[in-house]
A and B are shown apart, each in its own frame.
Chain A
Amino acid sequence: MNDVALTARQVRYTNRAFWRNPQAAFFTFAFPLMFLVIFTALLGKGTVILNGLPFNQSTYYVAGMSAFAIITACYTNLAISVTFQRDAGILKRTRGTPLPGYDYLAARVTHAILMAVILVAICSAFGAAFYDATIPRGVPLLETIVVVLVGAGSFAALGLALTSVIPNADAAPAVVNATILPLLFISGVFIPIGTDAPRWVDVLGRVFPVRHLVEAYLGAYYGKPFFDFSWTDVGVIALWGIGGLLFAARRFSWEPRR
């Protein structure tokens, strides 16, 4: 079998195991939707000033939670579950078979991206049905698809890179959340960053890829007059992804660390 066929086959097994794991399926799938409902229920009646114009917070959260869903599926879940597999010796066993390591990881990443795409689709359907978030057509739809794919791929690469600094499976959730939760808060995922936000939040947020993912998504999904879609955001996300990939290629560990 060639690499593509081997990877595709491995994606099917990964998917089967994923849906039988209640925690993985719950945290990956239920969390973003639950947060969407909670945030819109609590804060969704207000408006936020963006580009000098008032914008519905509930509509905003549809995009915020789509970005959150991409990060949950590709970064959080992938990093935690790959670390678990490493510590359980599953990666080491795989390494002793003829399956090339990159095929195995490609399958994990592909599966994570597929989950992200499904989640974004659910968030979008939810948003269209309940929160006045119309699904775009034409060019903006294509832009949205590019943002989702580049974002999912880049955060998956960063998730794999992160596993190489996680000491063991017990520490995985703590390390993953410590790296991502503060960024989620300063990047406009849970709280829209309006024009009155402190400058340091604005500056710090732009260094990391989360803010760029949120802005790219908003720009592609809703567009003018509230948001400007910029390929620069997509480029920054991709650069982070390439950096993650290079780091993972050098430092990824297939054996348990004890």
Chain B
Amino acid sequence: MSDRVVEVHDLRKNYGDVEAVRGISFHVDHGEVFAMLGPNGAGKTTTTEILEGYRIRSAGEVSVLGHDPAKRERSLKERVGIVLQSTGIDPFLTVTETIEMYAGYYPSRRPTDEVIEVVGLAEKRDTRVNKLSGGQQRRLDVAIALAGDPELLFLDEPTTGFDPNARRNAWEVVKNLISIGKTVFLTTHFMDEAQYLADRVVVIAGGLIVAEGPPASIAGREQMRTRIRFRLPNGAPDPDPRVRRLPDGTSELQVEANETTKTVHDLTGWAVDHGFELEAFEITLPTLEDVYLQLTGAEVGT
């Protein structure tokens, strides 16, 4: 038995003349959180729905838990949980009834109480779906997907439309899934979400994978230049020709450094010599967002 839960090789999908997915390959290993990151229209949902069996690929090879999802076999559906990007739930059943109804379709199930606990809906267990908030309904989506105790979970943009607080809560739910040993295939267009949740990320843009790797080092992120920012009192001269004033008119200055230690030494030495204080002094690595914008910028702009 291979440890590969999902394997995709040279996957393509056309809608008429439009190529939504243009030959992508990746794999998802057992027990990992795999994130597909990309802007709207990049091909994330198309790829996900091919893996889920909702769409038929135009070309390439796809294997999910050893099955071809295009065959829509019941034996595969019994092992997979799906949270679609937007789906409804019968508005007139309660949280508990809904989870039990869906759990009944599967040969193995998780106890309903436990599922409700994992997604944090314990206080709403007897509430009807139409009385839940949007965020609570989304958590119920996850609960439904978990009800049949799947080995693999698909989460298609699980936090789109959430306020920051609800997103944090949703992330905790996903962290809980990891702790109970699920393999998670996640799509998102939020960099911080991929960074926080994923073990591995592929960045997709215009139907192609443009980068792949762990969030910390994707696209050579750890080797990119650090960014040093600070403020100087009014009237102070620029310390170094490499330092730029930020264009937004604040008194903030920035320098991008290859040799961080030396540059910091130079700057602080200069400030001490001249008797200035470097206010709001900050050294940062490029964020995943910087990498992402750099990778997808061209496609986003067109």
- Which positions in A face B, CB cutoff 8 Å? 1, 6, 9-10, 13, 16-18, 20-21, 85, 88-90, 92-93, 95-100, 255
Contacts and interface: CB of A to CB of B under 8 A. Distances in A.
Interface of B: 52-54, 74, 77-78, 80, 82, 84, 86-93, 97, 101-102, 104-107, 128, 144, 148
Contacts of B77: 96-98
Contact of B84 (A13, A20, A92): A92
Contacts of B54: 92, 95-96, 255
Given A16-B93, A20-B92, A6 B105 contact: yes
B110 to A, nearest CB: 15
Instruction: Please give me the 4 A-B residue pairs with the lowest Cβ-Cβ distance, nearest first.
Output: A88-B88, A89-B87, A20-B92, A99-B105
Nearest to A103: B105
10 contacts: A1-B104, A13-B97, A16-B93, A17-B93, A93-B88, A96-B54, A96-B77, A96-B80, A96-B82, A98-B107
Nearest to A89: B87
Contact of A13 (B52, B86, B93, B148): B93
Contact of A98 (B52, B89, B106): B106
Nearest to B72: A95
A95 B53 CA distance: 9
Contacts of B92: 16-18, 20-21
B88 A97 contact: no
Contacts of A90: 87-90
A92 B84 CA distance: 9
B41 to A, nearest CB: 15
Interface-centre pick from A9, A13, A85 (highest chain B CB count, 10 A): A13
A92 B301 CA distance: 33
Contacts of A97: 77, 102, 105-106, 148
Contacts of A17: 90-93
A89 B102 contact: no
